[in-house]
Amino acid sequence: MSEWKFTAKEIAEKPELFASGHRACAGCVPATVHRLVLKAARGPIIASHATGCIEVSSTIYPYTAWRIPWIHTAFENVAANASGIETALKVLRRKGKIKNEHVDVVAFAGDGGTYDIGIQALSGAAERGHDFLYVLYDNEAYMNTGIQRSGGTPHGAWTTTSPAGKVIPGKPQFKKPIAEIMVAHEIPYVATASPFYWKDLIAKARKGLEAEGPAFLHVIAPCPRGWRFPTEKGIELSRLAVETCVFPLWEAVDGEYRLSAPSKVIALKPERKKPVKEYLKIQGRFRHLFTPEHEHVISEIQEIVDKRWKRLLKKCGIA
């Protein structure tokens, strides 16, 4: 895979394939994620979307924010959409029914559409080896339906189906390691990204498009409504998620893990690793943990973050 070099100016001058004027909430980071991913487009591209926030807010008929061909069919099947699109492009090109040029395929889904209801179609598409980029914009709950917990919701987080109750303080379970599950599918490219590190994100989206076969890009996408933070804090949280190692940045090319620069700095200088508390305290969904009776949950979160970080370093050949 040759590295695509680009400057901020070039990115700014590239057309906005995800147009403004959509009806996402103020401060919506997932919308920014979509915009950045599409900045990585290298030519003709078709997008598909699972049901979710961005799907509904970007295509309220008769309007659309998509300047590229786009299709939504249902919630649990965006990887099957991509399979069908990629297959059709391949055969129609072969038969001369469409122009003989390459068209990229990108599938977008939130955490619900990926970790939970969509994992079967995703796993199947990965196993079959369709050539497409799957972008998981992870806002860590079913935000479209009003903040319900998903397999991507972190431990201790309040949601409307994991309330901060007197007995059970938020979500008891831990976040499913979805990107590693995708690496286990032995697909050519898996990466994590954060919109604060936008250059890294765009470069990874590009690598995902360039990879021959399935590629999976897991992007942390803070949601002001669901995470309960002021609208201007989304990008800062995207940064803190990385700095606390809650959401380390890495990529696995053909199964070989390597840390990306922002996380590598922390690996090399562990004193730069911030405590998870700094990330949690900005977010209302963790507010209940900052009480004497639930403080232990913060320690649990720190423990799992440390454990997973250590495991990742091992996979990356560090430590």
Beta-bridged to residue 46, according to DSSP, are: 105
Which 51-110 residues touch other proteins, going by CB under 8 A?
55-56, 59-64, 66-74, 76-77, 79-85, 87-92, 94-95, 97-98, 103
Which 41-60 residues touch other proteins, going by CB under 8 A?
44-46, 48, 55-56, 59-60
Q: Considering the complex, what minimum distance in angstroms separates the CB of residue 157 from other proteins? A: 27
Closest Cα to residue 20, out of 36, 31, 5? Answer: 31
Nearest to other proteins of 66, 227 (CB atom): 66
Which 170-209 residues touch other proteins, going by CB under 8 A?
none
Q: Considering the complex, what minimum distance in angstroms separates the CB of residue 181 from other proteins? A: 15
CA-angle at 149, arms to 214 and 151, nearest 5°: 35
As to burial, measured by CB atoms within 10 angstroms (0-12 exposed, 13-18 middle, 19+ buried), residue 94 is exposed
Which 127-166 residues touch other proteins, going by CB under 8 A?
127-128
Closest Cα to residue 90, out of 123, 46, 27, 152? Answer: 46
Nearest to other proteins of 107, 136 (CB atom): 107
Within 8 A by CB and 6+ apart from 271, the residues are none
Return the residue of 123, 148, 161, 302 that touches other proteins, per CB under 8 A: 123
Q: Considering the complex, what minimum distance in angstroms separates the CB of residue 103 from other proteins? A: 6
CA-angle at 20, arms to 70 and 75, nearest 5°: 35
Answer for the pair 135, 107: CB distance below 8 angstroms, yes or no. Answer: yes
Q: Considering the complex, what minimum distance in angstroms separates the CB of residue 119 from other proteins? A: 11
Encoding tokens for residue 16? 């906005």
Q: Considering the complex, what minimum distance in angstroms separates the CB of residue 43 from other proteins? A: 8
Nearest to other proteins of 127, 254 (CB atom): 127
* Locus of tokens 């309040």: 158
Nearest to other proteins of 45, 141 (CB atom): 45
Q: Considering the complex, what minimum distance in angstroms separates the CB of residue 160 from other proteins? A: 22
Closest Cα to residue 244, out of 219, 263, 222, 220? Answer: 263
Angle subtended by helix axes 29-38 and 198-210, to nearest 10: 50
Nearest to other proteins of 89, 135 (CB atom): 89
Nearest to other proteins of 85, 246 (CB atom): 85
Whether cis (ω within 30° of 0) applies to the bond prior to 62 is yes
Q: Considering the complex, what minimum distance in angstroms separates the CB of residue 144 from other proteins? A: 11
Is residue 15 involved in binding other proteins (CB under 8 A)?
no
C-beta neighbour count of 266 within 10 angstroms: 21
Q: Footprint of other proteins on this chain (CB under 8 A)?
A: 44-46, 48, 55-56, 59-64, 66-74, 76-77, 79-85, 87-92, 94-95, 97-98, 103, 120-121, 123-125, 127-128
